[in-house]
Structure 1
Amino acid sequence: MPEKNAKTLRWEKSGQFTLEAQQGEEQGDLFICEIVNWLVKDDIASMEFPLFSLAKQKDTKTREYRRGNKTVRIIPSSVGAATVFDKDLLLYIGSQIVEARNKGLMPSRSAKISSIDFLLGTERGDGAGSYERIINMLRRLRGTTIETNIPTGEKKVTQTDGFSMIDTYTVLSGKKGSRKIVDKKTGKSEEVETEKVFSFTVKISEWLYNGLMNFEVLTLDRGYFKLSSPIERRLYEIARKHCGDQPIWKINIDLLAEKIGTSRERFKVRQDIRQAIQADALPQYRVALDPSAAPDDVVFYTRNTAKLSMELIRTNCARWFQTLERYDNVEKWRKQKVLPASVLPANADV
Structure 2
Amino acid sequence: MDDPRFPARRTDIALRDVADLMVWPWFSLAKSPRHAPITFEQGAVRIRVEPAGDLGIATLWDADVLVWAASQLTEALDAGRTPSRHLETPAYQLLRFLGRGVGRHDYALLRAAFDRLAATRVETTLRAGPQGPARFRWLDGWEPTGAGVRLTLPDWLFAAVCERRVLTLDPGYFDLTGGVARWLYRLVRKMGGRQRGGGAIGVRRLHARSGSPVRPAEFARHIRRIASIGLPGYRLSIERGGGEERLLFSRARPLANLSTAPCGQPVNDVGTSYLSENGRSPCRVAGEHHPDSESSPCSASPIRPYNLYNLNNNRLLAADSSTPPPVDKSSGAGRAPR
- Structure 1 length-normalised TM: 0.69
Amino acid at match of 2:134: D
Question: Where does residue 101 of structure 2 map in the other structure?
Answer: 125
**Which residue of the other structure, out of 253, 272, 278, is the alignment partner of 2:203?**
253
Structure 2 counterparts to residues 98-247 of structure 1, below 5 A? 98-151=74-127, 157=130, 159-172=132-145, 199-247=148-196
Q: Matched residues in 2 for 1:36 and 1:145: separation?
A: 29
How many residues of Structure 1 are paired with residues of Structure 2 in the alignment?
A: 256
Among residues 203, 215, 222, which one is paired with 1:265 in the alignment? 215
- 1:327, CA displacement in angstroms? 8.4
Which residue, out of 48, 52, 55, partners 2:30?
55
Contact 1:40/1:220 (8 A) holds in 2: yes
1:285-335 per-position Cα deviation (integer Å, ceiling 9, x unaligned):
122110124311111122129xxxxxxxxxxxxxxxxxxxx989xxxxxxx
Residue in structure 2 matched with residue 41 of structure 1 by the alignment: 16
In the alignment, which of 80, 94, 100 is matched to residue 70 of structure 2? 94
Match of 2:37, as an amino acid?
A: T
SS for the counterpart of 2:96 is: helix
SS of 2:22's equivalent in the other structure is helix
Structure 1 equivalent of residue 6 of structure 2: 31
Code of the aligned partner of 2:136: F
Instruction: Give percent identity, aligned residues only.
Output: 26
Q: CA RMSD in A?
A: 2.3
Q: Give the 3-state SS of the residue equivalent to 1:296 in structure 2.
A: strand
Change (3 A) 1:249 1:293: farther
Counterpart residue type for residue 250 of structure 1: A
Aligned-partner residue type, residue 59 of structure 1: R
Provide the C-alpha distance between the structure 2 equivalents of 1:229 and 1:210, rounded to a whole number of angstroms. Answer: 29
Partner residue in 2 for 1:74 = 49
Q: Would the alpha carbon gap of residues 286 and 293 (structure 1) be closer, same or farther in structure 2, given more than 3 Å must change?
A: farther
Q: Distance in 2 between matches of 1:327 and 1:83?
A: 31
Structure 2 runs not aligned, ≥5 long: 255-274, 278-338
Measured against aligned partners, the alpha-carbon deviations of 1:151-179 in whole angstroms (never above 9, x if no partner) come to 16xx5x47212110110100259xxxxxx
Deviation at 1:199, TM superposition (A): 1.8
Aligned partner of residue 236 in structure 2, secondary structure: strand
> Aligned partners of 2:250, 2:170: CA distance in 1, in Å?
15
Provide the rounded CA distance (Å) in 1 between the counterparts of 2:88 and 2:238.
Answer: 44
Query: CA-to-partner distance for each residue in 1:179-220, whole Å, 9 max, x for gaps?
Result: xxxxxxxxxxxxxxxxxxx72110011100000000011111
Of 83-92 and 129-138, more deviation after overlay is shown by 129-138
More helix by share: 1
2:325 maps to which residue?
none
Max Rg structure: 1
State the SS of the aligned residue for 1:59: coil
- SS of the residue 1:264 aligns to: coil
CA–CA distance in 1 between the matches of 2:133 and 2:227?
38
Q: Structure 1 residue 277 and structure 2 residue 252: aligned?
A: no
Report the AA paired with residue 83 of structure 1: T
Measure, in 1, the Cα distance between the counterparts of 2:248 and 2:139: 35
Task: Measure, in 1, the Cα distance between the counterparts of 2:100 and 2:119.
Answer: 23
Contact 2:100 2:106 in 1 (8 A): no
| Cα contact 1:238–1:259 (8 A) shared by 2 | no
Asked if structure 2 preserves the Cα contact closer than 8 Å seen for 1:66 and 1:72, the reply is yes
- CA deviation string 1:71-115 (max 9, x = no partner): 000011221110000011111011110111122222111001211
Query: Which of 297, 300, 303 is the equivalent residue of 2:252?
Result: 303
Q: Within 5 Å, which residues of 2 pair with 1:288-327?
A: 288-304=237-253
Contact 1:63/1:74, CA 8 A, preserved across alignment: yes
